[in-house]
A and B are shown apart, each in its own frame.
Chain A
Amino acid sequence: MILSAEEWGIVRLSLLIGGTAMLVTLPIAFVLAWALARGRFPGRVLLDGIVHLPLVVPPVVTGWALLLAFGPAGPVGRWLADWFGVSVLFRWTGAAIAAAVMALPLVVRAIRLSIEAVDPRLEQAARTLGAGRARVFATITLPLCAPGILAGMVLGFARSIGEFGATITFVSNVPGETATLPLAIYSALQRPGGEDMVWRLASVSVVLSLVALIASEWLARRMGRGLHVL
């Protein structure tokens, strides 16, 4: 299948946005997953609910909420403008933020499950062998949940590439800047004679998603066997 230069640009942009979204999401998702898996604090159920909101709220509403936060009058938007002189509106960075927020629940879920799967009795054993909390985390907990973290990342990446509703609401559909695969497919559908492009871009989407899904499943299964991949 031959893609035009324009179509390659769309694929590259989608990969850039999906990859950036995952890099931003990973540390945040890990901290949230850790708090939800191991934390004992009031409001844990509430936090769990908030993290999962993007999964159940209409994406348009999530996009609108991002617009309120990152818009020129929004708290985050004003802070970004004052300190860095930048705005994420109509930019690929904004699309990455939308993708990150939409993927967050999936990534947190996967990492949380992998943390919960680590047997705390192994961590106890490590402590009686003289390892402090930091060493136990680095040598026991983290390696044992690493496959789950990777699986969550890959799944979140696939979700990011498919993001539509929140992105188009938040940063609009700007070719070459925020027009990722789904948005470009939507545009091509509106255009007379755009069917061929729709077919090609849709095929790329399906292949990318399938590869990511299989990779994620494979990693998760490795975790189930108690193997480490790193």
Chain B
Amino acid sequence: MSFDVDVAVRRGEGRIAARFVTGPGATVLFGPSGVGKTTILQMVAGLVRPESGHVRVGGETLFDATARIDVRPEHRRIGYVFQEPRLFPHRRVAANLRYGMGRGGGDWDGIIAMLGIGHLLDRWPRSLSGGEARRVAIGRALLSDPRVLLLDEPLSSLDRARRGDILDALVAVRDRSGIPILMVTHDPEEAERIATAIVRL
């Protein structure tokens, strides 16, 4: 049991709610734009507080409304790759990658080789292409030694060739790292390619 999520929150007129339990591998939250997929990821990461329900990851309770548990985002050990890369503009790629590395750190060489970003380490984020920035963002999340990975439309706004690259990288992450993945997309092709299980919203 990787994710055990049951959350609900009011957003304006509507209400965003989801309930699912997943196994290992990659779970895809699939649905049209605007149903609140991103908000669900934010609730899992602790960036948005659910009004009710619970969030359990790998057996540990990160949020429980009735038990009044709400672990801070920085203590959840959740790697979050946002829809935009969100690289820190005042730090070079290497410093961005190192930002989340704690005492132990992750498998630096292995992750950089897997994502093919070794030649980018000395660059500034603003000089990267969309696909490069995306791969660095994935690397930064992986290097923070997360117990799970959240991916929010990791292939949006990329051209076809780049999408293939990133998709290959994500499949490699899924198969080699063994880190459970929760990914949001509205593209059925992407969903098919990476999903071990699909949650329709």
Contact = CB atoms under 8 A, between A and B. Distances in A.
Given A130-B100, A130-B144, A226 B89 contact: yes
Interface stretch (A20-28, A65-73, A118-126, A183-191): A118-126
A226 B90 contact: yes
Contacts of B75: 130
B102 A125 contact: no
B80 A125 contact: yes
Interface string A89-127: 000000000000000000000000000000101101111
Given A121-B84, A122-B89, A129-B144, 13 more contacts: A125-B88, A126-B88, A127-B73, A127-B74, A128-B47, A128-B79, A128-B144, A129-B141, A130-B77, A131-B100, A132-B72, A132-B74, A144-B89
B123 interface: no
Contacts of A227: 89-90
B74 A128 contact: yes
Given A143-B90, A144-B90, A226-B90, A128 B80 contact: yes
Q: Which of A121, A130, A227 has the most CB of B within 10 A?
A: A130
A226 B84 contact: no
Nearest to B78: A128
Contacts of A202: none
Listed from nearest, the 7 A-B pairs whose CB atoms lie closest are A129-B100, A228-B90, A125-B86, A128-B80, A226-B89, A127-B73, A129-B144
Interface of A is mostly: helix
Nearest to A147: B90
Interface in A122-153: 122, 124-132, 139-140, 143-144
Contact of B45 (A121, A126, A128): A128
Nearest to B84: A121
Contacts of B82: 121, 125
15 contacts: A119-B86, A124-B47, A124-B73, A124-B86, A125-B88, A128-B74, A128-B144, A129-B74, A129-B140, A132-B72, A139-B99, A143-B90, A144-B89, A144-B90, A226-B90
